[in-house]
Amino acid sequence: MPKEINDDDIQNITENIDELEITAVSTQQSTPLVKTGSNPLRVILDGFMGKVVKAMTIFSLLLLVLIIIGLVLKSIPVLKDNPLSTLLFSSQWSPFKGEFGFLPFILSTVYVTLIAAVIAIPLSLFTAIYLSEYANKRFLKYAAPMLDILGGIPSVIYGIWGVLLIVPFVRDDFSAWLGVDSVSGYSILSGGVVLAVMVFPVVVQIVYEVLKTVPHELREATLSLGATKWETIKKVVIKRASPGIIAACILGFSRAFGETIAVLMVVGNVVQIPKGIFDEGYPIPALIANNYGEMMSIPMYDSALMFAALILLVIVLVFNVYARWVLNRIEKSIK
């Protein structure tokens, strides 16, 4: 009989200890166990570091503002000479005559990036899902470094690969399948494909990491309701990961808008509004890279190219702001 009482006492104590531990943890957060005030140097350093990180952050944010101010100042001459609507919506491009219609460049940029997105987003998503949800450890061991390498290849190599492989493929095979004649292969499609291949490893890696942060228990909970594996992935895992997935795409495609050399090598660089995927295009980064050497020799040309850079920056900013807005809305629906 006395033993029985003993048991309960012990149990009581262990339960109380459990509770005590919980309170101990929660008080730790509000009142530090060690008083920082006892060592003045640490307090000074603490305050100092707080200011340092703040200053660094403000400095890097200021950089963006400075870049924008610089580009705007440099664009003023061309903006004074031409109405904004002409600059943005005209496709007359003859720098010698002082005609600067940027529409072909703007549309080429957008089209090439769109084609890349259409190819790269599903590909990256499915790859990341495979790696995170289906692949076994052995496969991952080989796949992960390969993706690392793919992401680290310099863009000029992607460009050469595009010229040697993608351009002939688009010219000879792909156009034949679609029944299109006499194309050069240098096209917004080739640009989009090369861009997609470049963005793919980055997006896969981030999406993979994001999927890995979805707790295992959430998958188990969904499966235990009788959901199939695919239902679990589609309706719960992706949903939970969607803010991160969108952030990954934003990151990938902010880079894609500005990717220069690889696209420039395969896109044809013809000033025209592309009417189809086999048409040549001339994205803004290619325009700047191809012409910055002679921009001083033609009046207004330097200002026009600066304005081109400003347009590119605005495109990226608008895209980012819009995507963040979408991201916020999704986040609010799940958190």
Partner 1 sequence: MTSSTIKSHISIKDLNMHYGKNHALKNISINIPDKKLTAIIGPSGCGKTTLLKTFNRLIENVDGTNITGEVLVDGENIYGKNADVTNIRKKMGLLNQRPTPLPMSIYDNIAFGMSIHGIKQKGVLNEKVEHFLRVASLWDEVKDRLHSPAARLSIGQQQRLCLARGLAVEPEIILGDEPTSALDPISTKHIEQKFVELKEQYTIVMVTHILRQARRIADYVIFMYLGEIIEHGPTEMVLGNPQHQLTKDYVGGAIS
List residues binding partner 1 (CB under 8 A): 3-4, 6-8, 10-12, 14-15, 136-137, 215, 217-228, 231, 235-236, 239-240, 332-335
Cβ distance to partner 1 smaller for residue 57 or 228: 228
Q: Which of 93, 258, 115, 272 is nearest to 188 (CA)?
A: 115
State in angstroms the smallest separation of the CB of 229 from partner 1. Answer: 9
Nearest-approach distance from CB 131 to partner 1, in angstroms = 14
Closest CB 202 distance from partner 1, rounded Å? 25
Q: Smallest distance from the beta carbon of 132 to partner 1, in angstroms? A: 13
Question: Would you say 175 or 222 has its CB closer to partner 1?
Answer: 222
Nearer to partner 1, 6 or 92 (CB): 6
For the bound state, the minimum distance from the C-beta of residue 242 to partner 1, rounded and expressed in Å, comes to 8
Tell me the residue type at 329.
Answer: R
Min. distance of Cβ 239 from partner 1 in angstroms? 5
Can you name the residues that pair with 283 across neighbouring β-strands?
none
Among residues 4 and 181, whose Cβ is nearest to partner 1? Answer: 4
Q: Indicate the residue among 133 and 209 with the shorter CB distance to partner 1.
A: 133
Closer residue to partner 1 (CB): 59 or 230: 230
- Closer to partner 1 at the Cβ: 19 or 181? 19
The three-state DSSP-derived secondary structure of the chain is: CHHHHHHHHHHHHHHHHHHHHHHHHHHHHHCCCCCHHHCHHHHHHHHHHHHHHHHHHHHHHHHHHHHHHHHHHHHHHHHHHCCHHHHHHCCCEEHHHCEECCHHHHHHHHHHHHHHHHHHHHHHHHHHHHHHHHCCHHHHHHHHHHHHHHHHCCHHHHHHHHHHHHHHHHHHHHHHHCCCCCCCCCCHHHHHHHHHHHHHHHHHHHHHHHHHCCCHHHHHHHHHCCCCHHHHHHHHHHHHHHHHHHHHHHHHHHHHHHCCHHHHHHCECCCCCCCCCCCCECCHHHHHHHHHHHCCCCCCHHHHHHHHHHHHHHHHHHHHHHHHHHHHHHHHHHC
CB of 241 to partner 1, least distance (A): 9
Task: Specify which residues 93 forms β-bridges with.
Answer: 100
- Which CB sits closer to partner 1, 225 or 296? 225
Task: Evaluate whether 78 touches 303 at the Cβ level (below 8 Å).
Answer: yes
- Least gap, CB of 246 to partner 1 (angstroms): 14
Buried b (16+ CB within 10 A) or exposed e, 238-262: bebbbbbbbbbbbbbbbebbbbbeb
CB of 130 to partner 1, least distance (A): 15
83/215 with CB nearer partner 1: 215
